[in-house]
């Protein structure tokens, strides 16, 4: 039976489902981390798993497609994977910020202001006043703005990570596929 290559965008979108679920898990663990130090630590550990998950998903595709799967195709698959994953994250975050916990952003800014104030330094007090002024003047980002920012940052960081992982895959999987240099 002949192997029929799959579309890079389709494969990236399907892997984006897994990445979106993982990014959403990290989001909720970070939300819980505002009130629990152990959850905040857990979220940091989960963040370290993003490159690992991306590598596993891209490697699986590379090994299935064989040596003809070019660097640019691996990178494009990674970009698509992160864009789709971040769209899922952004939608879930927007629903959370808008409908489930609409005071979250204000609470977050208040927590940050309190942390800066607790430093007991002049610079800390100045930063705390800036955050308080943002809240008093209604300059806090709206839920849609916050969600879009998360999506853009995640997509850009994922594209850069995919660029590195694509090169790493081409170098490390040569031996497994017995590709001559």
- Phi and psi at residue 180, to the nearest 5°: -70, 150
Structure tokens at 78: 């990674």
pLDDT at 80: 98
pLDDT of 66 reads 83
Enumerate residues 6+ apart whose C-beta is below 8 A from 22: 46, 49, 50, 53, 85
Write down the mean pLDDT value for the chain: 92
Question: Using one digit for the tens of pLDDT, what is the confidence trace for 127-165?
Answer: 999 999 999 999 999 999 999 999 999 999 999 999 999
**pLDDT for 181:** 57
Residue 56 pLDDT class (50, 70, 90 cuts): very high
The model's pTM? 0.89
Q: Above 70 in pLDDT, residue 9?
A: yes
Selection from 128, 173, 158 nearest residue 51 by Cα? 158
pLDDT of residue 35: 85
For residue 50, what are the contacts with CB-CB under 8 A and spacing of at least 6?
A: 19, 22, 23, 26, 161
Nearest to 16 by CA among 76, 72, 64: 76
DSSP-derived secondary structure letter, 63: H
pLDDT in tens, 92-109: 999 999 999 999 999 999
pLDDT of residue 5: 59
């Amino acid at each position: 039976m002949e192997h029929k290559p799959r579309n890079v965008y389709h494969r990236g979108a399907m892997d984006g489902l897994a990445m979106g679920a993982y990014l959403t898990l990290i989001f909720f663990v970070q939300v819980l981390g505002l009130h629990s130090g152990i959850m905040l630590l857990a979220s940091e550990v989960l963040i370290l798993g993003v490159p690992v998950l991306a590598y596993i998903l891209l490697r699986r595709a590379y090994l299935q497609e064989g040596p003809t799967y070019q660097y640019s195709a691996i990178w494009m698959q990674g970009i698509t994977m992160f864009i789709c994953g971040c769209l899922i994250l952004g939608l879930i975050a927007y629903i959370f910020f808008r409908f489930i916990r609409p005071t979250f952003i204000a609470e977050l800014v208040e927590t940050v202001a309190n942390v800066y104030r607790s430093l007991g330094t002049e610079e800390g007090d100045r930063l705390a006043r800036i955050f308080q002024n943002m809240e008093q003047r209604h300059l806090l980002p709206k839920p849609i703005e916050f969600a879009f920012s998360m999506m853009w940052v995640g997509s850009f960081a994922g594209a850069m990570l995919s660029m590195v992982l694509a090169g790493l895959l081409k170098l490390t999987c040569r031996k497994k596929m017995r590709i001559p240099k």
